[in-house]
Amino acid sequence: MLEFGDSKVNPLPTNINLHAIEHKFSPYTDNGGTTVAVSGEDYAVVAADTRQSEGYSINTRYSPKAFKLSNYAVLGTGGFHADAVTLVKRIGQRLEWFQHQHEKPMSTPSIAQMLSIMLYHKRFFPFYVYNILGGLDENGKGCVYSYDPVGSFEREGWRAGGSGGSIVQPFLDNQFADHVNDARVNLPVESVVKIVKDAFTGAAERDIYTGDYLEIFIVTRDGVQLEKMDLKKD
């Protein structure tokens, strides 16, 4: 008979697990963070914190969650950041094609509708992203659209989303509620920016996933301006 090596016979192990071992890979994770958008008579404000977390850890203190899509539209994202970044990349590509095909930039309400369709196309393996789109519509008036991960959307006057959404939303309702006109806010842009900053400092106090820095995009007929602010880093 053939012999291999030193022919030593090792005993079989006795500490094996005879039960099934469940392996679980999740394609998603929650990177936390809060986003807010407010629309006014002739402006829109879109703000998002920059902390990126995973569980009880912080991945980075500066990872922007709000992205300028066009001169008149800014998209705030929350949820799974990898999906958010990919989604923004694909929206950017669609905006380029539109610009070449129609020789004009895409209007914000059109971007809003397109985003809804893009999200629903992945209805059975969704982008785990909570989107809030803010900008100026074709008449130069402020508009805010908020979405669920599979594309259900609605135009609103203001919306707070993300991990700190439930902390911020009632404060915005309290400051902006005007039962005559719920489509937009009746305040000047400077007041709105102050209120948004206060809302985020409150959220950073009580939500562990919100903090580090705040980026505020202000959209007017002159385009998009960016303001930055520090938040608590604990």
Residue 173 makes contact with other proteins by CB under 8 A: yes
* Segment near other proteins (CB under 8 A); pick from 16-24, 58-66, 133-141, 200-208: 200-208
Residue 170 makes contact with other proteins by CB under 8 A: yes
Min dist. Cβ of residue 201 to other proteins (A): 8
Residue 38 makes contact with other proteins by CB under 8 A: no
* Segment near other proteins (CB under 8 A); pick from 14-22, 64-72, 169-177, 212-220: 169-177
Taking CB under 8 A as the criterion, the residue among 41, 148, 156, 205 binding other proteins is: 205
The smaller minimum CB distance to other proteins, of residues 69 and 160, is found at 160
What is the secondary structure of 163-209 as a DSSP string?
Answer: TTHHHHHHHHHHHH--SS--SSB-S-HHHHHHHHHHHHHHHHHH-TT
Min dist. Cβ of residue 171 to other proteins (A): 5
Residue 230 makes contact with other proteins by CB under 8 A: no
The smaller minimum CB distance to other proteins, of residues 63 and 210, is found at 210
Which residues 6+ apart lie within 8 Å of 112 measured at CB?
133, 143, 145, 153, 155
Residue 168 makes contact with other proteins by CB under 8 A: yes
Residue 234 makes contact with other proteins by CB under 8 A: no
Taking CB under 8 A as the criterion, the residue among 21, 100, 174, 179 binding other proteins is: 174
Give how many residues touch other proteins by CB under 8 A.
16
Extract the tokens encoding 14: 């006795």
Residue 178 makes contact with other proteins by CB under 8 A: no
Residue 119 makes contact with other proteins by CB under 8 A: no
Q: What is the binding site for other proteins (CB under 8 A)?
A: 164, 166-171, 173-174, 198-199, 201-203, 205-206
